[in-house]
Amino acid sequence: MEDPLRPHPYKPLALGLDFEHLAISVERPQKFNKQSAAINGCLSFGGGGTESEDEPASFAQCVPFPEMDFSRLFVPQVGKKSGKVSTKALVRRLLFPPCPRAFRNGVLSINWVISVTGAEHFTFRADDERFVLTEASELRHQGREMGLPAVLYEFLCGDIPESSAAEDGMMLTPGFFESETERE
């Protein structure tokens, strides 16, 4: 006979709580974070032209390390953001994807878009499981006026319920951005 206090290993413990929605919400951020890491790997944080060198030979030698006074070690302070980025600057960033990693499977990745515009502009819509611009976002209100192409604008807003994020994104290929930037 089964012990009623010990749940079966394949059956959830019956507490009257439904945790099924948590499985989706935990899986989505993990996938989102993995894709974001791949995309953000190509973002430039300055220091262009400086290459680090890996010298394992220095550790293979039996030479003592030089004396180092760690009390003089300077750790720079991380500065605050210089302020709010203008909508025009955000539109410009969106029209010039910096590297091939901005495109997952040949189309623009929403992960890259969020990383360059800022997460405060987006919200996750559970109905169709996609990120869309918030109602308060200036990109939503001024994006078209600032030169955001209609296809990209619809991809970001997701206002047409009949089309999915995948359908909206099919036009957003590297070729699309090359043709859009040639017009400027």
What was the pLDDT predicted at 127?
84
Name beta bridge partners: 122. 133
Q: pTM of the predicted model, to two decimals?
A: 0.56
More confident residue, 15 or 106: 106
Name beta bridge partners: 124. 131
Distance CA 177, CA 118 (A): 20
For residue 102, give the nearest of 45, 172, 180, 181 by alpha carbon: 172
Average pLDDT over residues 21-34: 55
Distance CA 32, CA 42 (A): 16
Contact 140, 132 (CB under 8 A): no
Give CA angle at 113 (94, 45), nearest 5°: 85
Domain segments of the chain: what residues?
20-40+86-183
Residue 138, amino acid? E
Distance CA 8, CA 28 (A): 28
Beta strands in the chain (DSSP E): 103-104, 107-108, 122-125, 130-133
What was the pLDDT predicted at 140?
93
Contacts of 19 (CB under 8 A, 6+ apart): 12
Confidence of residue 57 (pLDDT cuts 50, 70, 90): low
For 78, 122, 143, the CA distances from 91, given in Å and listed in that order, are: 26, 15, 7
Per-residue pLDDT at 151 exceeds 70: yes
What was the pLDDT predicted at 133?
93
- Each residue's pLDDT tens digit, 62-96: 666 667 777 777 666 655 556 688 889 999 888 88
What was the pLDDT predicted at 141?
93
In the DSSP assignment, the letter for residue 103 is E
Contact 95, 112 (CB under 8 A): no
For residue 96, give the nearest of 148, 169, 40 by alpha carbon: 148
